[in-house]
Every structure is written in structure tokens, then in C-alpha cells.
Structure 1
């Protein structure tokens, strides 16, 4: 056989092995294989599967040292294996395995597994997996998975999954998942999930979910959910922080602009204060804590002012009848005074006493304390320069920051 024919045969065999490995669902030895199962060898060198120092006994040999010039198909490793392209082991691997493209192990891995493209382990993995694209494990993981794109574990994870795009575990996770896009657990979370876009847990959550867009827990949350837009929990016993918070039932705290649950109320308040003669606020949440969206305007020919902002509040019952309540609230608003050039930020604490006139209507009034940071020193024609007159004894806190005591009074419906 000429050298050229040998090269073509080796290349054809290599491509076949890679294709079969990438699509295989399992690797097991045939029951009639008698090629030296469980042979312990000090080491082996192979060019491609079938061409190496262990010859036909390679699939049943466990090697302390294994070097595959292109790739190898061996029984197992109890030491160190290096393959410039790929490593295939039908049984277990211990200590370290490194491949330029992929590692495929039919048993368990204990130690380090590093591949340029992907690692695949049919049984358990203990220690560390590093892959340029994907790590796949058919059993439980105790340790760390790091992949440029994707990690998937068919059973439990006790440790960490870190990836550029997605992490999936089909059992409970104790530890942490970190990804650029998407985390998913089909069982429970006892630890932390961090995702650039979405976290999903089908079981109970004890720990923290943090996401750029959405955090979802389809059972109980006894911890914290933080999302840039929306949080969902079937049963909230902890804290949700997001623009929109949804819970099928709650004994915890939802902190956001819109909070939705069977225990939530939805109210609209129309009121006046020392700054503006017309204000409207939408409040949603529970008496434990609720979110506020608000806007205001001072309708006047020469002293106009507009505002918009958000805040949080809490309701305390005053007496058993619940006819009277005390509602302390904290809000932050931007004040528009005819131009967007200047910074006019108002932070306000108010404590309103509500008197219920019926099931859906209450009136309220109370004191307020305001802190204004403004770098505007020239009035715009037709607009106020400062929210209040000197009658309110405005005092200076520091440069561009003033404060005063004021009031609120209005009516709430629903």
C-alpha cells in the first residue's frame, strides 16, 4: 500500500469516526467483544483508531498514559490522555483528558476534561470540564462546567455551570449557573442563577435569580428574584424586584412599578400638593409593599410645571376596623420646567392618613418632606423656576440641593 493510499484511508476513517461520535447517543462494548476488556496498560500511542500500539486490544485497554496523534478509540484512562484532534474512551477517565476538537467518554470522568469544541460524557462528571463550544453530561455533575456556548446535564449539578449562551440541567442544582443568555432547570435551585436574558426553574427556588429580562420560577420562591423587566413565581415567599412582578400567590414582597397577584390591589389617586395642583398616581401591590407610577402638572398661565416618576409605599392599619390607614411613601420624580437642559430631580417622603368612605373610595392627607437637586438658575418663560415659594421655608442642604416640608391631599378610588 502506498503512502498516499494510507493517508487517504486514515483521513476517511477519521471523518467517519467524528460523524459517528457527534450523532451517537451511547457508546458501549458489544457483548461478544473479546479484545482484552479491562487490560491495564502503562501507556499507548495511536495514529487513528485501530492503528496504534495496543492494536485490536485498544477498545478494552485502560491506559495510564495515552497519546493520540490524530485520534484514538480506547477503553479508558487512569492518568493522562492527549489527542491532537479527538479522544474516544468506552469506559472511565480519571485525572486529565485534553483534545484539540472533542472528547467522548462512555463511562464517568473524574478530573479535568478539556476540548477545543466539545466534551461528551455518558455517565457522571466530577471536577472540571472546559470546552470551546459545548459540554454534555448524561449523569450528575459535581464540579464546574465552562463552555463558550452551551452546557447540558441530564441529572443533578452540584457546583457551577458557566457558558456564553445557555446552561441546562435536568435535575436539581446546588451551586450557580451563569450565562450570557439563558439558564434552565427542570428541578430545584439551591443557589444562584445569573443570565443576560432569562432564568427558568421548574422546581422550588432557594436562593437568587438575576436576569436582564425575565426570571421565572414555576413553584415556590424562598429567596430573591431580580429582573430587568419581569419576574414570575407561582408561590412567592421571598422578594421580587423588577418592573413587573407576577405571583399566583404571595406572602412575600414584590417591589416594582406593576405588581400582580390575587392578593394585590390596584388604585388610582388624584391629589394636589404644595408644588402642583393636579397629580395622578397608579398604585399596585399589597399592603406589605406596593409600587407607584405618578405624574403631575401645575396648570397656570405663568407658573407651569410638569413631573413624572415612580416610588414605593406601605400600608399600616390604624385600628381593627381598617377604616383608617397610614401610608408612608417614597417617590422620585423629574420636574420639567420648560427645558430638558437642566437636571431637576425631586425625592420625596410622604405619610398620608387614609379614611375609607366605602369599599372603593378613600380620602387622604398628610405631611411630606422634599429634597430637590437642580442646576437650573434661570426661569423659562411661563414656567416655575422652583417648585415652591419662599413661604415654605426652603433651606439649602448643599450645592444645588434644597429641601422643605410640604403636604398632600386627595382621593383614592379602587
Structure 2
């Protein structure tokens, strides 16, 4: 069998079926009143049952092989590439690439790449981005959500942007807003004023920020930036180990909480991960710590702190082994090359608040 002839036959059959639907629905709609919702079947504007009238029609159902255009949609809209609606929608809009709604998107939108709309009170899901002037519904995107005034939920793989947020922003990297009455969850959270920020770097005018210098049981010193709100804060820092000759460059990141506050005294709990690097090889020393740290504010902007920690380490270097003498529990793998262990330590330092 000739494959090309077989393929051409299938394509011709599909085209005949699609032409039949166009003729049937065009003849049906030709008797429709202009003020009632129509059914639109097409290939791409104006090759559809609504023809050149399509931009002025309101549809109860739309199916376009490539792209459709309408004034409004009141049901289901399906397009292989794009749905373009000048005014409002209700129901479901699904497009292989993009949905573009000029007014209020009252239904649910799914797009392989992009959803753009004036306002929305339902759910918008896009492979890349959702962009709206305001959104009282949910925005879920692989990369970016831009929602104006958001009163529900934004979830993005990389970035969320909003003016005022009364719901939750969750991003793989950064959340940006002006006024947040809900929560921001991401690596970096930025707001003029914020409710709850959960991240490593949290910037808000009504939040607390500080630069600290610390030392631990291994003689690792860290210069860190702590930032957050009334309860939760983030930690990120770099430093130097004075015991080692190779793995001497230090880093850490984590989250903390003010679990108790009494005037100038605070009790902080921190969960931090970090390690030591030589920057020249594949040696590994990683460390995870839980710290319980009393802190005393000796002036309005200076705080001293120090307390015990329980630590878990993983190392495959001689320098890493020598840093700790006593373990609560330890074990080895790979014929003794990799060492794992739990031990008690401490962390102490001073912090300048601003």
C-alpha cells in the first residue's frame, strides 16, 4: 500500500467531514435570532459557521480546528490553537496554545501556553503564563502569573505578580505584591506590607530584617541575612571555616520562627541546611541543623544570641571527619568512604536589625 496515498485519503476524509459540519451548522445558524446564543463550528475565522458575523456573536458552543473569534461565550469553547473572545465568558475554554478574553472570564480556562483576560472569578491554568487585570479566581501557570488584585490563589513555577493579595501566592522562585493580607510562599517574597511570608528572603516594609555574624562548634563563621515577619523568617548566608585547609568556604540557608517573645527576650527555632566547599573538587560536606536559640536585644537594633543545636552531617573527606569528635549516632557506606552522623553542637552570634 502506498503510504502517501493512504495519508492523503485520511486527510481528505477529515476535510469532507469538517465541511459537512460547517454546512449543517451554517444553515442552522442562518435562521437563528441575533439575540440568542449560537453554535459555532469552524476552521479559523472567518471560515466558520458564523462567518464574518463571528466577532459579534454570542455562542453556547464553539469548536474551531485552529482558532475561533466571538463576542461572548456562554458554554464550552474548544480550539486547536486559540480562542479569542472580545467580551465575557462563562463555562469552559480550552485551547492548545492560548485563550484571550477581553472582559470577565467567568469560566474555567485551560491553555497550553497563555491565558490573557480582563478579570476572572474562576480558574485559569496555562503551561506558561496567566495575565489579568484582576483575578478573584485561581491562577496556575508553569512560569508566570500576573493578576492585579488577587483574592484567591496564584501558583507559578517561577514568578507571581499582583497589586493587592487577599489569598495565597506560591512560587518556585519569587512572589511580588504591594499589599498582602494573605500569604506568600517562595524562595523570595517581596511586598510593601505583608501578612505571612514563608521563604528564604522576605522583604516587606512592616517586616524585620537583620545582618548577623555567627560561629558554631566547627569554627565555621557565617555572615547571614535574616528576614521575615512577626513569627516566621528566612536565613541565607555565606562564610568561612577556620579549621579546614580545603573545604573552608561555607554556606547556609533555612527558615526560623520566633516561638516566644517577652519584651527584649526571644526564643528562636531554626531549621538550616548548608555545607563546606573547596571550590576545586568533588569533596562533599553537607550539614543540616535544628537550633533552639535564646536571643537578647541589648539595644533597639542590636541582638545577641546563642544556643544548642542538633546536627546531621554527610561527608566523604578527611577534613569533614575530623571536624566532629563525638556522635550521638554515626555510620558509614561505600566501604567506609562516606560518613553519616548525628551530634550535638551550638550556634552563637550577634545581629544588627533594621
Distance 1:301 1:126 in 2: 69
Cα pair 1:246 1:260 within 8 Å, conserved: yes
Aligned residues: CA RMSD: 2.8
1:223-274 deviation line (CA, Å, top 9, x unaligned): x2122332122222222122221112122x2122221111122211112111
Tell me if 1:229 matches 2:184. no
Distance 2:243 2:112 in 1: 55
What SS is found at the alignment partner of 1:386?
helix
Alignment map for 1:91-170 (pairs within 5 Å):
92-94=36-38, 96-102=39-45, 103=48, 104=50, 105=54, 106-111=56-61, 113-123=62-72, 125-170=73-118
| Alignment partner, residue 350 of structure 2 | 411
1:42-67 deviation line (CA, Å, top 9, x unaligned): xxxxx9xxxxxxxxxxxxxxxxx974
CA change 1:338–1:250 in 2 (3 A) is closer
CA change 1:345–1:77 in 2 (3 A) is farther
| Alignment partner, residue 307 of structure 1 | 250
CA-CA distance at 1:76 after TM superposition = 4.4
CA change 1:411–1:110 in 2 (3 A) is same
CA-CA distance at 1:275 after TM superposition = 1.5
Distance 2:257 2:82 in 1: 48
Larger-gyration structure (1/2) = 1
Q: 176, 187, 200: which one pairs with 2:134?
A: 187
CA-CA distance at 1:411 after TM superposition = 1.2
CA change 1:67–1:230 in 2 (3 A) is closer
| Alignment partner, residue 3 of structure 2 | none
CA change 1:148–1:363 in 2 (3 A) is same
Cα pair 1:132 1:148 within 8 Å, conserved: yes
Distance 2:66 2:91 in 1: 20
CA change 1:133–1:389 in 2 (3 A) is closer
Alignment map for 1:14-413 (pairs within 5 Å):
67-68=22-23, 75-76=29-30, 92-94=36-38, 96-102=39-45, 103=48, 104=50, 105=54, 106-111=56-61, 113-123=62-72, 125-174=73-122, 176-190=123-137, 192-206=138-152, 208-222=153-167, 224-251=168-195, 253-300=196-243, 305-319=248-262, 322-336=263-277, 340-374=281-315, 376=316, 378-379=317-318, 384-386=319-321, 388-390=323-325, 392-396=326-330, 400-413=339-352
CA-CA distance at 1:407 after TM superposition = 0.6
| Alignment partner, residue 16 of structure 2 | none
Cα pair 1:288 1:315 within 8 Å, conserved: yes
RCO greater where, 1 or 2, for CA within 8 Å and sep 6 or more?
Answer: 2
What SS is found at the alignment partner of 1:126?
strand
Distance 2:183 2:295 in 1: 27
CA change 1:357–1:107 in 2 (3 A) is same
What SS is found at the alignment partner of 1:403?
strand
Cα pair 2:128 2:143 within 8 Å, conserved: yes
Distance 1:346 1:271 in 2: 16
TM-score, scaled relative to structure 2: 0.81
| Alignment partner, residue 12 of structure 2 | none
What SS is found at the alignment partner of 1:142?
coil
CA-CA distance at 1:397 after TM superposition = 6.7
- How many residues are aligned here? 323
What SS is found at the alignment partner of 1:155?
strand
What SS is found at the alignment partner of 1:154?
strand
CA change 1:397–1:263 in 2 (3 A) is farther
